[in-house]
Every structure is written in C-alpha cells, then in structure tokens.
Amino acid sequence: MTEPWDCPNGHPGQVGRYCEVDGYDSHLDAHLSAPVVGEKGWSITVAADREYYEVTRATTEDLSIDYPLFLPPRRFPLRGESVLVGRADVNRGIAPDIDLTGPPEDRAIGRAHAMFVPTGDGTWAVVDLRSTNRTYVNDCANPIPAEVPVELRDSDRVFLGAWTALTVHLVTEP
C-alpha cells in the first residue's frame, strides 16, 4: 500500500496517483524533466478544451461524459522511439507513456488511442491507432487518417476523446 501524500494545491492525505479533489498527478514532477541545456526537445501539455467538447458532445452523449470542472495542465516530454497515448488497462497489459486515465477521466479516449513518433528531421508526428473516436490535429472537424503519421509543428493541437487537447511545444534551453 502506498503512503498518503499531500497535493500541492492544498488537499492533504491523498492515496493513489491522482488527487481525488482536483486530479493533480503526483507523478507530474517526474514528467517535467527539462532537456539538457542547449538541447532542442519537444513536450506535450495536456488540458481540457471546452470548444472541442462542445463539438464532440453530440457524438459522445451515450457515454455521459461531462466536461471537467477542474483539470490542471499536465506536461510530458516527447522522447525515445515512440510515445503511446491512451488510458491504462492492467488486464490488457496497456501502459501508455502519456496515461490519461484521470481523474477526471475522458472515457472517449481509447486504451491505446494514438502514438507520437519522431521524424527524421528532429520533429514529431502523431499517428491515430485506429481509435474509435479518432484523432484530430488543429481542426476538430476533420480526423486524421488512421495509421498515417501526421507531422507536427510547435503549438499544434492534437484532440482526442471528448475534451482532451494535447499541445505540442518545441523546447529550446539557452
């Protein structure tokens, strides 16, 4: 059993990875490691997007997914050969690098929804992994094709699920 921890947003005695009050990810600090000084790197900021939620709400009504009252932004580095995005499922052996299990949980996100892959020129691309609710880049009306890498630029937005937006950032340390 894990030791209780105090959420930095003023909610003591939390058990488990996420704060039960505001959804703070206790592993957040581990994901915020900066690139080496002088190194160019990429990161993802995960947040809720109200406009995207309003567009997708009609297609997710059967899931009864509410827009979250509070979701602090979470940051993840883009590093390695690939970065899987989804919701963990111990029974199926799915452990995404960017685990969007929650709380709050956007249940319209697939267990293995999308993957970020590096391109040959130092940038990243996103690939939809044949998700039920599709993946969108910058335009929440037109999904990207499944299993086709779509190159990303600094500040591009990737939309998944019912309200989740992932913003891609180019990080350059002086």
Tens of pLDDT, residues 81-114: 999 999 999 999 999 999 999 788 899 999 999 9
Question: Bridge partners of 113?
Answer: none
Mean pLDDT of the chain: 85
Is there a single domain that holds both residue 45 and residue 119?
yes
Q: Do 74 and 31 form a contact (C-beta atoms < 8 A)?
A: yes
Q: How many domains does the chain have?
A: 2
Is there a single domain that holds both residue 48 and residue 63?
yes
Is there a single domain that holds both residue 147 and residue 67?
yes
Q: Which amino acid is at 128?
A: D
Is there a single domain that holds both residue 5 and residue 40?
no
Is there a single domain that holds both residue 53 and residue 136?
yes
Is there a single domain that holds both residue 68 and residue 9?
no
Q: Does the bond joining 104 to the residue before it have cis omega, within 30 degrees of 0?
A: yes
Is there a single domain that holds both residue 57 and residue 139?
yes
Is there a single domain that holds both residue 36 and residue 108?
yes
* Contacts of residue 81, Cβ cutoff 8 Å, sequence gap at least 6: 117, 118
Q: Do 111 and 131 form a contact (C-beta atoms < 8 A)?
A: no
Is there a single domain that holds both residue 135 and residue 69?
yes
Low-confidence ranges of the chain (pLDDT < 70): 1-2, 8-9, 11, 21-25, 27-39, 58-63, 173-174
Is there a single domain that holds both residue 74 and residue 98?
yes
Range of the domain at 75: 32-172
Q: Read off the tokens for 5.
A: 């921890």
pLDDT at 174: 54
CATH number of 94's domain? 2.60.200.20
